[in-house]
Amino acid sequence: MSIATYEEVLDLPNHPEKLLIDVRGADELAETGQIPTSVNIPLDHVKKTFSSETNSEAFVRLHGFAKPSLDHYIIVSCRTGRRSQMAVDILQELCYTNARNYKGSWTEWAAKQGK
C-alpha cells in the first residue's frame, strides 16, 4: 500500500506535477474546507471519471485540467483515509500505477494546520 505523508502534501504547492484529489462530497467540503491544491472528485465518480469511458476532452470539460496519464503521481484524500484508500484501490484497478493514499487526510491536515 502506497502512503503519502503530511509533509509530502504540505509540499504540494512546490510540485504542480502531482495531483491531489479529495474524494469527499461537496457538502463535506463546504463544511470543512479542503487542502490547498486539491481538486474534488467524489468517490462515487472516481471509477467512471478515470476509466477509459471518459475521454480526455470530457475529462477537461468536467474538471478543468488534463486527464492524468496512467503513471501520473496522484495523492488521494478524504476525511479520515478510508474513502481515499477505496479510491486508490479503484485507480489501481484501472491501471494507475502511482496512486497514493494520504492516510491522515483532512483530519490530520486540519489538526496540524490549526483548523
Q: Which of 43, 46, 75, 78 is catalytic?
A: 78
**Cβ contacts of residue 96 below 8 Å, gap of 6+?**
50, 68, 70, 71, 72, 74
Q: What span, in angstroms and rounded, lies between the C-alpha atoms of 100 and 29?
A: 20
Q: What span, in angstroms and rounded, lies between the C-alpha atoms of 12 and 35?
A: 10
Whether 78 is a known active-site residue: answer yes
- Residue 101 pairs in a beta bridge with 3, 76
Cβ–Cβ under 8 Å, residues 107 and 80? yes
Radius of gyration of the chain (CA): 13
Report the catalytic residues: 78
